[in-house]
Amino acid sequence: MKVYLIIHIVYGIITYDSNTITSFAYQYSGGSKCISPQQRQKTVYFSDIFARPPKIILQTQMFDLQHPYLNFTLQIMTVTTDYFILHQKCDYSVVHGIVIRWQAMDDERIQVINEFNMISLENKTYSHINPNVEEAIISLINLSYKGSIKFNIEISELTRKNVSVVITNPNDGLKNLLVLGYQVILGVKEAISNFSSIYTTAAYTSPHYNFQDSSWLITPFIGFSYDVTANIRLNLTHYSDQQAIWYQLNSFVAGTHWQYYAPQSHQPAWLKYSFTTIYTALECRTLRITQIKERQAVFRNSFEVEILETSQLFNTQDTFQIILDKSYQLINIKIYAKCFTNKSIKSYLNKCNGCLQNQQHQFQHNCYGAINTINFSIKLFPTILAYQELIIIISTIDCQVFQVLYNEEKSQVKLIDIKQIDT
């Protein structure tokens, strides 16, 4: 009698994860220096599997960098559902140690913009995808230099579509900065809670921060004031008890309190990894449909969409993307549909987000006699105070309006679908 043993491996799906990379620092077991010319990479595995490749957020927690001249780069090469690869290249001198704390998140309410290894140092404006982003923070990851440096990286403006980053340059403090790497982390209102930036010239112990629900305390560097007296040696360590978390920043590296402390700026913040804010679609609670004979119908296109609040008219065959302001408590849309003999106009409208499919507004109107036009007067009501991103698609035979939502996943909800069909 043969007995077969079947092993079934079950993987859980995670939406967030966090850990620390120490393999690029000789001060830790299994770690080593990076001596030029050398390049290496580290494959960092998550604690379980993500449904989609997550966003990776980096904060450098320890620097031990050679002086007075150093050139190295650091960047994420690959991100999959179960690991990411971090690549380090040392072009000149020695990186004795660099320790990276990372967070991984699979959520569209967070966006990460990577600016790895900028050589031509300049202020930049980046586009972002979520109009409901309201908070942002910078994380300085790596830097290279050939002399003294003094700078900060700051968010100068955040709009519905763009985020602008400036690199301050007091007293020509950038002239010796060779390479700069940073990330811009963007989020909806509850995603990021920033504290004021902190400039330190000596060892620093933070206040105790009471724990926040479903949040990490992150402490990214945002600038340096370094005179190349000695190596940059900085070590940021987190501590916690049952009620609070705090951190210490000092020059204690490799078991030694080094005399030289590199002045720098950092910015603590709470970063949310589980959200309570759910963005939901507009609902059509009021609707009027009229069938008429339109004298100018022969000169009009098959479908036209007018948004009264913004005085916008869309009457060509194309795809349009618009963002409606969060101040609108009601959105009035008029849709003109041309009607033809032996055709019907079939319509669908999102009545309520919790409704079953057969509970939504669904109609069919025949085109008969002199009737050549069906007009839809639609009132859409926001279900959450937010910018509303709409996609309008017009063709010769149909008109569709979708709403784009950013929650754990990015989704498109069909609000309106009006089409010509054969009778």
Token pair in block for residue 91: 């072009």
Which of 177, 109, 190, 188 is CA-nearest to residue 140? 177
Boundary (domain end) residue, out of 250, 272, 294: 272
Q: Is residue 277 a part of any domain in this protein?
A: no
pLDDT for the residue numbered 11: 60
Per the rule left: phi > 0, alpha: psi between -120 and 50, beta: everything else, 29 is beta
Q: Collapsing DSSP states into helix, strand and coil, what is residue 358?
A: helix
Reduced 3-state DSSP string for 234-251 = EEEEEEECCCEEEEEEEC
Residue 3 pLDDT grade (very low, low, confident, very high; cuts 50, 70, 90): low
- Distance (Å, rounded) from C-alpha 325 to C-alpha 263? 43
Domain assignment present for residue 31? The answer is yes
Query: CA-based angle 156:161:162, to the nearest 5?
Result: 30
> Residues 332, 368: one domain?
yes
Reported as a single tens digit per residue, the pLDDT across 149-163 is: 999 999 999 999 999
> Do 384 and 279 meet the contact criterion of CB atoms below 8 Å apart?
yes
Question: Do residues 52 and 161 both lie within one domain?
Answer: yes
In a domain, 1, yes or no: no
Answer yes or no: is pLDDT of 26 > 90. yes
Flag whether 180 is in a domain: yes
For residues 147 and 218, the answer to whether their CB atoms sit within 8 Å is no
- For residue 398, give its domain range: 283-422
pLDDT value of position 342: 83
Q: Is residue 5 part of a domain?
A: no
Query: What span, in angstroms and rounded, lies between the C-alpha atoms of 56 and 87?
Result: 14
Q: Are residues 27 and 121 in the same domain?
A: yes
Rounded CA-CA distance 372/381 in Å is 29
Q: Is the domain of 265 the same as that of 296?
A: no
80 and 122 both lie in a single domain: yes
Do 325 and 417 lie in a common domain?
A: yes
Looking at residue 116, its pLDDT comes to 97
CB-CB contact of 263 with 232 (8 Å): no
Statement to judge: residues 219 and 356 lie in one domain: no
Tens digit of pLDDT for each residue in 216-234? 999 999 999 999 999 999 9
Q: pLDDT of 34-59, one tens digit each?
A: 999 999 999 999 999 999 999 999 99
Q: What is the DSSP string of 189-240?
A: TTTEEEPPPEEESS-EEPPPEEP-TTEEEE--EEEEEE--SS-EEEEEEEEE
Residues 263 and 294 reside in one and the same domain:
no
Confidence tier at 301 by pLDDT (50, 70, 90): confident
Q: Is 359 helix (H, G, I), strand (E, B) or coil?
A: helix
Q: What is the pLDDT of residue 175?
A: 94
Over the stretch 239-272, which tens digit does the pLDDT of each residue have? 999 999 999 999 988 788 889 999 999 999 999 9
Last residue of a domain, one of 227, 247, 272: 272
Instruction: Return d(Cα 137, Cα 216) in angstroms, integer.
Output: 14
Q: Where does the pLDDT of residue 5 fall: very low under 50, low under 70, confident under 90, or very high at 90 and above? A: low
Q: Which of 418, 186, 409, 157 is nearest to 284 (CA)?
A: 418
| Residue 2 pLDDT level (bands cut at 50, 70, 90) | low
- Predicted TM-score (pTM) of the model is 0.91
In terms of domains, do 205 and 332 share one? no
Give CA–CA dist 285/382, Å, rounded.
10
pLDDT in tens, 177-212: 999 999 999 999 999 999 999 999 999 999 999 999
| 168 and 192 share one domain | yes
Question: What pLDDT was estimated at residue 320?
Answer: 98
- In three-state form (DSSP H/G/I as H, E/B as E, the rest C), the secondary structure along 141-183 is EEEEECCCEEEEEEEEEECCCEEEEEECCHHHCCCCEEEEEEE
Closest CA to 48 of 83, 7, 22: 83
- 179 in the Ramachandran plot: left (φ > 0), alpha (ψ -120 to 50) or beta? beta
- Indicate if 177 and 310 belong to the same structural domain: no
276: exposed, middle or buried (Cβ count in 10 Å: 0-12, 13-18, 19+): exposed
- How many Å is the maximal CA-CA distance in the chain? 93
Residues 295 and 181 in one domain: no
Q: Would the pLDDT of 69 be above 70?
A: yes
- For residue 325, being part of any structural domain is answered with yes
Instruction: Tell me the CATH number at 188.
Output: 2.60.40.2080
- Please enumerate in sequence order all residues whose Cβ is within 8 A of that of 250, keeping only pairs 6 or more positions apart, or say none: 203, 204, 234, 235, 257, 261
What does DSSP assign to residue 400? E
Q: Does a structural domain hold residue 8?
A: no
pLDDT at 109: 98
Of 229, 244, 272, the domain-final residue: 272
In a domain, 45, yes or no: yes
Confidence band, pLDDT 50/70/90 cuts, at residue 8 = very low
Q: How many domains does the chain have?
A: 2
Q: How far is it, in rounded angstroms, from Cα 63 to Cα 99?
A: 7
Burial class (CB in 10 A: 0-12, 13-18, 19+), 241: exposed
DSSP per position, 277-341: ------EEEEEEEEEE--TTGGGS-SEEEEETTTTEEE-SSEEEEEEE-TT-S-EEEEEEEE--T
